Amino acid sequence: MSGAPAASNPYLSRSYIDGVYIPSGLLVLGCLIVKREWLPYAIALSLALGGWKVFSMREKKVLKPDVFQNFELTEKTIISHNVAIYRFKLPSTNSILGLPIGQHISIAATLPQPDGSQKEIVRSYTPISGDHQPGYFDLLIKSYPTGNISKYMASLIVGQTIKVRGPKGAMVYTPNMVRAFGMIAGGTGITPMLQIIRAVIRGRPTGDKIEIDLIFANVNNEDILLKEDLDQLAKEDKGFRVHYVLNNPPENWNGGVGFVTPEMITKWLPKPADDVKLLLCGPPPMISAMKKASESLGFKKAKPVSKLEDQVFAF
């Protein structure tokens, strides 16, 4: 496409034009008008200042795989009584996590134990934001009564910090890595799926053709996280389809009912093929059941620990 290279080239962005090219040009032009003999110095100075500006404006990856770093909570958006979106500030407005699509981060906190001791607890989460959104990252977290980190997160107030390390995980999405994704998510298992769905759709202008079908299972209608976002993505992109399943559906419900069954997988997801990958994320009992169901339908047997090349990948 004729407009794609310029749009994807950061050096042609408005911030570079306003912050680098125009000031450098004005400096050189001013010397041409006022004092030509200063021109070599003006060019050298504009190149030095421009180079420093370009360096300072580059996106900086902040994640470290072996070191926990503190990030400050700047915003907390309540979604329901036990679900919120937490926004954390990165060191600068052009900082990015540096998290490959499909991977996740570890969050650690030292929490009191029933015996009165203190213990560091670590849990994995997938941001719902991406590296195309510099300066911050967002986490969608559901707090459980028996949860450790999820309860701790719910207690956070703006200004407090969390400890983060990463990236983690074997899944790394690349454009057109398969012909189609079949996805089965339960509850907060939607977060890695949403990360990949958004990345695929963002890649459409540059040729990403991956088809995506998602089965999203929950207990009640109000438990469906980010339903408006998912419905809007499905409306805007003909290559993405979402199918909802509820244990306790409301009246006039036209989605699936009960647990996700092999029949639902056959009806809504792509058939097993070498260029199809099935992605799973949700509660352990659900993942176990989906691995058995997928094998019965002709998908290759899922391994205990998934690798990128596996046909059935569980986050």
What is the C-alpha separation between 269 and 182, in angstroms, rounded? 5
Whether residue 125 is annotated as binding a ligand: the answer is: yes
What is the C-alpha separation between 25 and 291, in angstroms, rounded? 61
Active-site option among 31, 104, 152, 243? 104
| Cα first-last separation, the chain | 35
What is the C-alpha separation between 164 and 120, in angstroms, rounded? 13
Active-site option among 125, 136, 152, 244? 125
The alpha carbon torsion through 19, 25, 27, 29 (nearest 10 deg) reads: -160
| 104 included as an active-site residue | yes
What is the C-alpha separation between 211 and 11, in angstroms, rounded? 32
| 126 included as an active-site residue | yes
Whether residue 86 is annotated as binding a ligand: the answer is: no
Is there a contact between 36 and 131 (Cβ–Cβ < 8 Å)?
Answer: no
Whether residue 191 is annotated as binding a ligand: the answer is: yes
Element (H, E) at 137: strand 136-142
Hey, what are 109's tokens? Answer: 């906190």
DSSP alpha helix (H) spans, 118-189: 149-155
In this structure, which amino acid lies at residue 307? Answer: K
Element (H, E) at 291: helix 284-296
Active-site option among 136, 243, 244, 281? 281
Whether residue 215 is annotated as binding a ligand: the answer is: no
In this structure, which amino acid lies at residue 221? Answer: N
Q: For the beta carbon of residue 54, count every other beta carbon within 10 angstroms.
A: 14
Active-site option among 31, 126, 173, 188? 126
Hey, what are 296's tokens? Answer: 């019965």
Hey, what are 153's tokens? Answer: 């997160």
Whether residue 123 is annotated as binding a ligand: the answer is: yes
Whether residue 204 is annotated as binding a ligand: the answer is: no
Whether residue 11 is annotated as binding a ligand: the answer is: no
- Judge if the upstream peptide bond of residue 167 is cis by omega within 30 degrees of 0: yes
Q: From the DSSP assignment, how many helices (H) and strands (E) are in the chain?
A: 9, 14
Provide φ and ψ at 152, rounded to 5°: -60, -45
Q: Which residues are catalytic?
A: 104, 125-126, 281
Residues making up the binding site: 123, 125, 140, 142, 149-150, 191
Residues making up the binding site for FAD: 123, 125, 140, 142, 149-150, 191
